[in-house]
Amino acid sequence: MAWITQVPDDDATGRLARIYDDARARSGGVAGIIRVMSLDPPSLAGSMSHYVSVMKKPNALSPDRREMLATVVSNVNDCFY
| pLDDT, tens digit, 9 for 90 and up, residues 30-50 | 999 999 999 999 999 999 999
Residue 79's pLDDT is 83
A 10 A CB-CB count for 23 gives: 18
Q: What is the value of pTM for the model shown?
A: 0.74
